[in-house]
Amino acid sequence: MWNDRLKDHKIILASGSPRRKQFFEDMGLDFEIRLKKVEEVYPSLLQGSEISDYLAELKADAFDGSLEHNDILITSDTVVWYKGKSLAKPADLEEACEMLTELSNDWHDVITSVSFKTSTSQKTVNHTTKVKFKALTPDEIQYYIEKYKPFDKAGGYGIQDWIGLIGIEEIHGSYTNVVGLPTQLVYKTLMNMVS
């Protein structure tokens, strides 16, 4: 349906995330993937959604000067925010274990920002989902990390993985946002851009 509305535009997903690619496919979007390497560093004074907004826009800025007039470039970044700090992708098993131990038996925020860039404009939106883990045992954490190796996931976990199925008690907000893309917000923003 929405490809008719978008037929005069080329949608470009600038993400190597297999989950975001799958969401675009599941939503029936015609799109192509373009990747540019970006060093994901942000000013230390940024907090929460300011971090994910900044990084989503940083990824989009890498395409400055290369977009055609009908291109819509979509970049995204997800942050796990817990007690005033960002939990990024864990570097190794030990760091993933520390993150999940911290998140155990508590609430945290998952914030995903999505930037929509054309040759003449840029719009960034974000969504926050509150997530509550049960009290995870050390054995559950160890099993999950060794079997699923969640080193490409902010906060060291994927809600769609085993740990999410057995460990998440409640969420307030968008489920797809926690997976890595607030699909309803992407749809709404794209529709507004071409209305």
Q: Quick one: how far is CA 187 from the chain centroid?
A: 15
Whether 77 is catalytic: yes
Active-site option among 77, 92, 152, 161: 77
> Residues with Cβ < 8 Å from 144, sequence gap 6 or more?
100, 150, 157, 161, 162, 163
> Residues with Cβ < 8 Å from 1, sequence gap 6 or more?
28
- Render each residue's pLDDT in the chain as its tens digit; 195 residues: 667 888 889 999 999 999 999 999 999 999 999 999 999 999 999 999 999 999 999 999 999 999 999 999 999 999 999 999 999 899 999 999 999 999 999 999 999 999 999 999 999 999 999 999 999 999 999 999 999 999 989 999 999 999 999 999 999 999 999 999 999 999 999 999 987
Domains assigned to the chain: 2-194 (3.90.950.10)
Which residues share a beta bridge with 156? none
The tokens for 175 are 């489920």
DSSP 13-49: E----HHHHHHHHHTT--EEE----------TT--TH
pTM listed for this prediction: 0.94
